[in-house]
Amino acid sequence: MLFGRTAPDDRGPMPRLARFKADTGDSFVLEVSPKGPAFLKYDDSGEVWALNPVPGPKGDMIYKNDVGEAMLRTTRFGGLTVFTRDRPMGIAAAIEGGAGDLHDLLVSGPVAMFHVLVQASVRATRAAGHKVEFEAKEIDPGSEPVFADAANLTAQAFLRVDQRGPQGHQALARFGRVAFLNGRPPGVRIVGEEVRITVTPELGFAGRPSSQRISQVLFRR
């Protein structure tokens, strides 16, 4: 229904890296790989989603985020469907053109990392209504980009929870510190008043939890 009666050979294979535009007008960049996760970034968001491919019916591939939600579906003929909260049944998207490497978005260097931690702490503090410290003591040289990305996503998660109203405010009142740890697998857990974010730098964008996963843990504690 989404792609009409287009013949299979009218569509080429999915490109490795390209910009797409959904029927709703939303644009995004998608990077796929025959091995490993795909990466998705909407133009109006600073977050890059790491999506795990899961085989679907009729040769389709379904890409899910780290909380198990389907965000994309591709067909073996190059068709693409995007799933959003507003359109859970999916909307068609078509290639709009080329795109730059998503990994260029990552912040690098210890000085930049320090500034990211400070700014992320300020954002989380504003959302929680009290001081929330961000610290990362296990950063090896070269791993700063993924840790910085994790810090930004954690601050974004605090804002998400704050937007849930009184229940969100109550949830955030419990936390006073966020610690970023080097380990495997990437994840998030709560220990007392501390939020612990495990980062696996060698996995790139797939080496940190998404803002959605972090916000779910913050809210459900």
Name which residue leads in pLDDT, 12 or 82. 82
Q: What is the pLDDT of residue 125?
A: 98
Place of tokens 């690098």: 108
Residue 10: pLDDT over 50: no
* Measured torsion, CA atoms of residues 19, 204, 55, 90, in degrees rounded to the nearest 10: -40
As beta bridge partners, residue 50 has 39
The pLDDT of residue 12 is 56
Residue 2 pLDDT exceeds 80: no
Residue ranges of the domains in the chain? 8-100, 106-220
Give yes or no for residue 4 having a pLDDT over 60. no
Q: Model confidence over 49-83: pLDDT tens digits?
A: 999 999 999 889 999 999 999 999 999 888 999 99
What residues does 177 pair with on adjacent strands? 133, 194
Higher pLDDT, 137 or 174: 174
Q: What is the pLDDT of residues 149-206, one digit of tens each?
A: 999 999 999 999 999 999 999 999 999 999 999 999 999 999 999 999 999 999 999 9
Cis peptide leading into residue 185 (ω within 30°): yes
SS (H, E, C) 36-53: CCEEEEECCCCCCEEEEE
Nearest to residue 205, comparing CAs of 29, 83, 19? 29
State the pTM of this model. Answer: 0.88
Question: Rounded mean pLDDT of the chain?
Answer: 90
Q: Domain 8-100 belongs to what topology?
A: Lipocalin (2.40.128)
3-12, 36-45, 145-154: lowest mean pLDDT where?
A: 3-12
Helices (H) and strands (E) in the chain, counts: 4, 12
pLDDT in tens, 89-131: 999 999 999 898 888 777 677 888 999 999 999 999 999 999 9
Name the nearest CA neighbour of 118 among 152, 80, 142, 95.
152
